[in-house]
Amino acid sequence: MKDWGNIRFREGDDFRAGAVLVVDKPLRWTSFDVVNKIRICLRKGYGKIKVGHAGTLDPLATGVVIVCVGKETKNIEEYMGQEKEYVAEITFGHTTPSFDLETSFDAEFPYTHVDRERLEQAVRQFVGEIEQFPPTYSAVRVDGVRAYEMARRGDEVEMKSRKVMVKEIEILKAEFPVVELRIVCSKGTYIRSLAHDLGKACGSGSHLSALRRTRVGDFRVEYGFKIDEIIGILGENL
């Protein structure tokens, strides 16, 4: 048996039989970039092989991306449905159309009235089952077209709300205008939307300035591979 580090195999060390690995996605990489890099690395030893990710993570976010290989790609939906944990940095004072730093500021708001007490009161509104509107700059389909494609063209985009479950929000830091939250939530929750809505709830405006996905199910970021690590492991063993 080869030592592959933290990779879960279905059978022995056979990637075709099915394997799961956790990658700590770097900033500005897409989830597809991660999948494509692993597919290229595996091609040497396995030729054409199925590789897919279990849940998109925005390019401006870092952290857990679950990658399924071989027959394990059949279980992608199961992994996608698992509980997520994030650490989100939210900055008050400005909003953006995308609710994060993908787009430029579109409005400025006062925030000096927002203190720890007001933040705690606002946060409680977002714990439990909530109605949430996805960002217009998202991959949600509207009339068969990705919302972000319409938004980038300047088209009017009407988003429909959806119910999501936010299990827990913990305030890790409140050094205004920047706050840091740990959020445990269900599949389909947009942390960007939560950041935007939290600003409104505090009588201000805010945007998501940084995001790290720290857990999906029992897959934790501290056990994930950096990109150079997984390239090295696959290169040495194939």
Task: Report the catalytic residues.
Answer: 58
Q: With contact defined as beta carbons under 8 Å apart, do 63 and 27 qualify? A: no
Please give the Cα distance from 228 to 238 (Å, whole number).
15
Fill in the amino acid letter for 98.
S
Fill in the amino acid letter for 42.
L
**Among 11, 205, 213, residue whose Cα is nearest residue 99:** 205
Structure tokens that stand for 42 in this block? 């595996």
Beta-strand runs (E) in the chain: 7-9, 19-25, 51-53, 61-69, 84-92, 94-95, 107-108, 128-132, 141-142, 145-146, 162-175, 178-185, 206-216, 219-220
